[in-house]
Amino acid sequence: MCGIVGYVGRKNCAEVLLSTLEKLEYRGYDSAGIAVFDKNNIEVRKAKGRIAELRAKMASEGSPEGRVGIGHTRWATHGEPSDINSHPHSGGNVTIVHNGIIENYKEIKNMLISLGREFVSQTDTEVAAQLLDFYYKGNPVEAIIKAIRDIRGSFALGIIFRDFPDTIFAVRKESPLIVGIGEGESFIASDVTAILNYTRDYYMPEPDEIAVLSPYSTKIYGLNYNQLDKPLHHADWDENAAEKQGYAHFMIKEINEQPDAVKTTVVPRVTDGLPDLSECGITYDMLRGFKRINIAACGTAMHAGLVGKYIIEDLAEIPVNVDIASEFRYRKPLVKKDDLVIIISQSGETADSLAALRLSKSLGAKTLAIVNAKGSSIAREADMTIYTLAGPEIAVASTKAYMVQIAVMYLFAFAAAYANGAISEQRCRELTASLLEIPEKISEAIKLNDKAQYAASTLVNADSLLYIGRGLDYALSMEGSLKLKEISYIHSESYAAGELKHGTISLVTEGMPVIAVVTQKELEEKTVSNMKELKARGAYVIVVAASNILIESDVADYVINLGECDEMLSPMTAVVPLQLIAYYTAVLKGNDVDRPRNLAKSVTVE
């Protein structure tokens, strides 16, 4: 989704804005722009396309030379991607950048038109700029307070006022915003990765708090114009975490980071060989009290929830519902007081997941967030939070975040099962020990790189393919299919292997690729029968199989055998070749792997 940045300091502002915007490219965007004070004039440069196109435009039109300004990457919502609809937008004295959606923009626009104001773009953002200007009578903070009272929806705004050439203003509701503090300079940004090259210290304004950044000071005000004393946060991420470090793409770098990400996430949550979530506020006593669990999430995070369902039900014997968050929030879910609702999210800002969290709280359930981004809205609002410690995930296609989400699902399932008496202490210790060993197994799976690359070469020309599996393997095949389609743009569907005969098998024609996942011994025979049925109809079958599952040559065209691993934990190794297959297929097709078309990393609108 859109990204906003802003800078006040002594450096060349245009260059700082462009370099910080480049760090937000991963969020997904279709146009970019900046506005910089240049000798008291506000100079705007904007262009449809990538930041490289904006840079090219600035090279030909001239780059503004000031020290204060704001910038934006736009992911189109209101109005097509175009130079005119790109941010920044201006209204009279005011120029703004905006991440989010102003739901009542039509109402406000009509009111402003009736007062004689004219609009040049189709965006909701221009409406906010004009509204701010309408309220502006010489005091920017007062104008912001009045304007945000009128606005319904989500926003993080970076604002400059023509009369205040050394100051930027910012305010948020729902959409993320941080305020970075450096030596004699300060920043605003949609997330902290944007400013890591400049500073690691930052404030996190709450909704409706207004930040005022000037070269002399940075102040944050409440809606009553009262100055607030906010805690300063420090980003302790490795400096290189948001860099490619020699890898061709962030996605392959992040696939390779998975063993470490799991280690970092799991090791601190194990005490004396048993899972220990007490630091996150989850005690064994508490775990005994949950009668039902609901998991709500989107996309890959929802797929991690599906793995959670299989293992929590299997081990802890607690019924688990998994919902797509956008469905959960509108289907009047039967959530009760003794229920636990788990929200899984990498970004912690996904609009539907946040809404599902709020709904669950309003229904009286206890809520647990499994979140990667520290201090994000979902993490802050949930009753309890388990942070996945994967570091920043930059590629739009989620890999290491999924891996650590399922690692946490395992820790949770083991703890809940032990708390309920559904498994013995001995079994809990064995499972926990296997989880502690899993980083090595993931490293072995990453060595299947060449096999995955070969499998990918057989898929590049496919129009469509199927992923199949049963049980945990079905949950996994859903993730494999999503990964492939989001970056390779090849249509694929995942199917429970036993369901194919009920309709979908009619799609199979000569040469159609099918990727089967077979890691569960108990289900081996059944899935293999389904593979035979597919092969008999001409399918080209690739199989990802556990080490103890022997696939005969008449059943599959290409076999990727995993190393040894506790069957219960197999999703953590089996997902790796699926990620690699998706990655190499996209690379072979020449796609923009880290920034696939139409997608955004953090989906902050419904």
- Binding flag, residue 185, ligand AGP (CB under 6 A): no
Integer Rg of the chain from CA: 25
Question: E-assigned strands of 191-304?
Answer: 201-203, 210-213, 218-221, 233-234, 270-271, 274-275, 292-297
For the chain, what's the residue count?
606
Least distance between ligand AGP and beta carbon 331 (Å): 19
How many other CB atoms sit within 10 Å of the CB of residue 485? 18
Q: How is residue 250 written in tokens?
A: 């962030």
Residue 297: CB minimum distance to ligand AGP, A: 6
486 binds ligand AGP (CB under 6 A): yes
Instruction: Tell me which residue of 32, 5, 49, 24 sits closest to 597, measured CA to CA.
Output: 49
Task: Give me the least distance between CB of 603 and ligand AGP, in Å please.
Answer: 5
Of 235 and 298, the one with the shorter C-beta distance to ligand AGP is 298
CB of 319 to ligand AGP, least distance (A): 24
CB of 457 to ligand AGP, least distance (A): 22
Q: Is 28 in the site for ligand AGP (CB under 6 A)?
A: no
Quick one: tokens of 390? 């994967």
Stretch that binds ligand AGP, among 185-193, 295-303, 425-433, 556-564 (CB under 6 A): 295-303
Count other C-beta atoms under 10 Å from residue 590's C-beta. 8
By rule CB under 6 A, what string of x and - marks binding of each residue 141-170 to ligand AGP? ------------------------------
Q: Minimum distance from CB of 300 to ligand AGP (Å)? A: 3
- Binding mask 251-290 toward ligand AGP (x if CB under 6 A, else -) reads ----------------------------------------
For residues 38 and 486, which CB has a smaller minimum distance to ligand AGP in the complex? Answer: 486
The one catalytic residue among 48, 57, 263, 601: 601
Q: Binder to ligand AGP among 42, 156, 235, 301 (CB under 6 A)? A: 301
The C-alpha atoms of residue 97 and residue 129 are separated, in whole angstroms, by 9
With CA atoms as reference, report the closest residue to 408 among 313, 276, 293, 315. Answer: 276
> What span, in angstroms and rounded, lies between the C-alpha atoms of 371 and 387?
5
Cβ pair 353, 335 in contact under 8 A: no
Does 298 contact ligand AGP by CB under 6 A?
yes
Query: Catalytic pick from 2, 13, 280, 428?
Result: 2
Least spacing, CB of residue 192 vs ligand AGP, in Å: 15
Task: Establish whether 280 is a catalytic residue.
Answer: no
**Which 372-401 positions form the footprint of ligand AGP (CB under 6 A)?**
396-398
Q: How far is the CB of 600 from ligand AGP (least distance, A)?
A: 8
Q: What whole-number distance in Å separates Cα of residue 480 and Cα of residue 478?
A: 5
Closest-by-Cβ residue to ligand AGP is 299
CB of 189 to ligand AGP, least distance (A): 17
219 forms bridges with which residues in the sheet? 212
Least gap, CB of 385 to ligand AGP (angstroms): 14
601 part of the active site: yes
Q: How far apart are CA 308 and CA 321, in angstroms?
A: 10
Half-sphere exposure of 483 (CA within 13 A, CB side): 31
> 69 or 299: whose CB is closer to ligand AGP?
299
Site for ligand AGP in 321-350 (CB under 6 A): 345-347, 350
* Closer residue to ligand AGP in complex, CB, 96/490: 490
The secondary structure of 476-491, three-state, reads: HHHHHHHHHHHHHCCE
Tell me, residue by residue from 446 to 485, as one string, x for binding to ligand AGP by CB under 6 A and - for no binding: ----------------------------------------
CA atoms within 13 A on the CB side of 572: 33
- Return d(Cα 492, Cα 471) in angstroms, integer: 19
Torsion sign across C-alpha atoms 565, 566, 567, 570: negative
By CB under 6 A, name the one of 132, 603, 604, 605 that touches ligand AGP.
Answer: 603
The single residue listed with the structure tokens 């797929």 is 303
- Smaller CB separation from ligand AGP, 31 or 300: 300
Count the neighbouring beta carbons within 10 Å of the beta carbon of residue 92: 14
β-strand 3-8 against 186-189: which pairing, if any?
antiparallel
Q: What does the CA dihedral 217, 222, 225, 231 come to, rounded to 10 degrees?
A: -30
Q: Which stretch binds ligand AGP (CB under 6 A): 160-168, 201-209, 243-251, 597-605?
A: 597-605
Nearer to ligand AGP, 167 or 372 (CB): 372
| φ/ψ (deg, to 5) at 467 | -115, 135
- Choose between 28 and 91: whose C-beta lies nearer to ligand AGP: 28
Residue pair 350/602 in contact by the 8 Å Cβ criterion = yes
Q: Is 353 in the site for ligand AGP (CB under 6 A)?
A: yes
Of 197, 171, 180, nearest to 233 by C-alpha is 180
Element (H, E) at 255: helix 250-256
Question: Which residue number, 32 or 575, has a Cβ lying nearer to ligand AGP?
Answer: 575
- Other C-beta atoms within 10 Å of 598: how many? 10
User: Minimal CA–CA distance to 475: which of 304, 267, 589?
Assistant: 304
Residue 575 engages ligand AGP in binding (rule: CB under 6 A): no
Q: How many residues bind ligand AGP (CB under 6 A)?
A: 16
CB nearer to ligand AGP: pick between 497 and 575: 575
Q: 26 vs 203, which CB is nearer to ligand AGP?
A: 26
Check binding of 300 to ligand AGP (CB under 6 A). yes
**Where along the sequence are the contacts to ligand AGP (CB under 6 A)?**
298-301, 345-347, 350, 353, 396-398, 486, 599, 602-603
Residue positions annotated with a catalytic role: 2, 601
